[in-house]
Structure 1
Amino acid sequence: MDDVKNAAPESGGRRFRAARIFSVPDAVKFLDTLELTRLAEAFAAWTSRAGRPDVAVSRNRVQLIYLLLRHTGARLGEVLAINDRTDINLDNLSVQLGGSEGGLGREVQIPAELGDALAAVFDDPAYASMRGILFRLDQGHVRRKFYERAEECGFTKELVNPSTIRRSRAVELLRDDVPLPVVQRILGHSTADLTAAFLHLPEEQRRKVERQVLTRETRRTSARNAFFGRVARVQRGDIQSIVTVESLGGHAVSSIITNESLKNLGVVEGSFVTAEIKAPWVVLEVGADLPRVTAGNRFQGEVELIRLGELTSEVIVALSDATRLCAVITSQSARELALAEGQKVWAMFTAFAVVLHVE
């Protein structure tokens, strides 16, 4: 884990890989890829030990539920609600999930091996009477069988809880450098912030972060741009300090505040804050190369929208993680830059322009 936490930042030191932001603390429980595979092998061995055909069918249904959880990161209720006739598409190896427990309806890809296992079941006459309700098993029964397999593998019950398997899949994806918005969609979260909070924190802290996210989304402020994240570093000076915030979307934002403000806000490494920047303080520059400017915060994105006014214009820039920055510049500057939707630009602002908020 230390190698992941200390990974070098990408271009210009302003963009961080997902694995660096979502390093998993020791207190957070999850299974790594090898452990997930061991558990799958335990289910396969358990199914093969069935003495009667009807028992083998029953055990295989539980095994398929585990494999769906393991490869989709779904909630247990979502998997149990799958209609195997309509929600599984073996042609494109996907399963339709969501909606039953408040999640977002979504299509999630599955591996070919799982597709083959499902195809074998769909073609087997022994399962004909169960089609459409193949996964409609009692949650308590499923959990008990999970715990039994956990004991065989030497795992605690906590490690094979369906929510832990869901978290384990998300950690696995992020370690494979799958972008946060993609993991967000797979999990069915409404925002990337909730995905990050779900992955990174124990339950008590997760609820606190979710409350902070909701407060941030409903707070009225004149600042158009906000990055919510964890304080990664505090460099104290004699009068002012530099605070570096690693956003949940994978960006590093620097702010310079007085030491008195640092104390009053209670900002320390590891705490969560919102870094806000007013739109007029955001400067734009066209081009693919990293600009050589004094502004410490530099983010590359694409122009998503331009609203031209008589004197000033508003430009929305979409960053790589779907974060959007708004810049208000003079209309003359917009014309001189020849801005167009889809154009690559750099959005920049100084550390002095960043205001920190603590909920």
Structure 2
Amino acid sequence: MKDRQDQDAGLDRVLAAFDEAQRRRSEDAEAGMAIEVPKEAPHLDTLDLARLTEAFRAWAARPRRVDVRASRRRILLVYLLLRYTGAKLGEVLALDMRTDFDESHSLLRLGRSPEEAGREVGLPSEIVREIAEALRDPELLKRNDAPLRVDEAHIRRKFYERADECGLPREAANPSALRRSRALELLRDGVPLTVVQSLLGHSTANLTASLFSFSEQETREITQRFLNREQNRTSSARNAFFGKITTLVRDEIQAELSIVTLGGHEITSVITVESLVRMGLAPGKLVTAEVKAPWITLAVDEPDGVSARNVLQGKVDVIRRGDINSETTLRLSDGTRLCAILTTRGLDRIGLKTGDTAWALFDVDAVIMHVR
């Protein structure tokens, strides 16, 4: 009961923290845009959410019994809708998926009632496909207009169990925390605060950003831009690794930092201390590491004793041959595509073919860091 009563109190703190960061930046151009979220507003970052999502998917796919698998799939759907809309649990459980889920436009209509028009929230295309496939499950269809009707206490127990599996704090993995987490993802990716409030169906007085407003069409366009960026990250854009800084060591001139990506790869980079300070990099910060194709070399045997600090294994996906240079794309275990440009003579020398296992090697100074 307390969670239901206080579910937006933590969100108020998150929005107020963002508003304060925005105010500081308007007063001081050097202030940056770090959002200091209060400890009493627990939340998960994008990588933690990815771990939790995979835990839910694995748990839902585990049972052999059809009815048990359908029951778990129902919980997975509730989780996915909460995670990607930032909606309240009651809003998701009240959905009529026959009319409120618009697969063709990748939309979910939330908060509709005879008295309220509700709001539309865009969903990532891969999540739309996953939801649509699940809703075709005959066991879920037996529920007719209420395939998501599940006891709230049961949902929270399953959320806590999955959090325990991932080693995540329970208080950061409940429905209210997912709402805060989605708000922070949107805000940190540049979605205006008033748009975030509109998407979450939340209003807070006395916020600086509330002076700005956007039309419904502008809100859709802003949201779509965010979803496109999000899709690029989760679909593993070529030669780009989205992850979290795990270690950072600096001296007077340079700093070495390592990130762990959504797919579990570790990437190490060296940058100047000046760049480190300018970008506000620190352990826990979410960044994108990019590697230029000409700086990557390939090996057909597992490297041993090489100087390159970054070594990643994958399978040759595509080879595009040219008279002088050739482009080879490796697909890593998480689906990330890594493109290397070698001389055609060098490619022939190592004898790579489509489908072969190969290793990509690149040094720390070949990695460029970008703040999301």
* Shorter-chain TM-score tier: 0.5 to 0.7
* Alpha-carbon distance, 1:270 to partner: 1.1
C-alpha displacement at 1:250, in angstroms? 1.4
Task: List alignment gaps of at least 5 residues for structure 1.
Answer: 1-20, 37-62, 83-97, 120-131, 154-158, 176-197
Structure 2 Cα separation of the partners of residues 341 and 209 of structure 1: 39
CA contact (8 A) 1:77 1:100 kept: no
TM-score normalised over the length of structure 2: 0.51
Change (3 A) 1:174 1:327: farther
Q: Per-residue deviation at 1:207?
A: 1.7
Distance in 1, Cα, partners of 2:76 & 2:230 = 33
- The answer on whether the counterparts of 1:265 and 1:358 sit within 8 Å (CA) in structure 2 is yes
Unaligned 5+ residue runs, structure 2? 1-45, 60-67, 82-91, 99-104, 109-122, 168-176, 191-225
What secondary structure is seen at the aligned counterpart in 1 of 2:311? strand
| Superposed CA offset, 1:79-116 (max 9, x none) | 8537xxxxxxxxxxxxxxx967354324459xxxx99x
Equivalence for 2:254 = 240
1:312-357 C-alpha deviation (Å, 9 max, x unpaired): 0000000000000000000000000111001000001000111111
1:237–1:74 CA distance, 2 compared to 1 (3 A): closer
Q: Compute the displacement of 1:247 (Å).
A: 1.2
Q: What amino acid is aligned across from residue 341 of structure 1 in structure 2?
A: T
- Tell me, in whole angstroms, the C-alpha distance in 2 between the residues paired with 1:240 and 1:172: 38
Q: 1:205 aligns with which of 173, 184, 203?
A: 184
Q: Deviations over 1:131-156 (max 9, x none)?
A: x66341498xx4xx734xx3xx8xxx
CA–CA distance in 2 between the matches of 1:65 and 1:315?
42
Query: Paired residue for 1:229, among 243, 247, 251?
Result: 243
Percent of pairs with identical residues: 28
Q: Distance in 2 between matches of 1:358 and 1:351?
A: 17
Corresponding residue for 1:104? 128
TM-score between both structures, scaled by the size of structure 1: 0.52
Q: Is contact 2:47–2:243 with CA below 8 Å preserved after alignment?
A: no
Q: Does 1:305 align with 2:318?
A: yes
The match for 2:332 is 319
Secondary structure of the residue aligned to 1:238 is coil
Q: Secondary structure at the match of 2:128?
A: coil
Q: Is the 8 A contact 1:310 1:331 kept in 2?
A: yes
Distance 2:315 2:93 in 1: 38
Larger Rg: 1
Match of 1:348, SS state, is strand
CA RMSD of aligned residues (A): 4.8
**Residue 225 of structure 1: CA displacement?**
1.5
Q: Matched residue of 1:341: which SS?
A: coil
Moved more, 70-79 or 259-268: 70-79
- Say whether the 8 Å CA contact 2:319–2:327 is kept in structure 1: yes
Contact map agreement 2:243 2:288 (CA 8 A) in 1? yes
The count of aligned residue pairs is 235
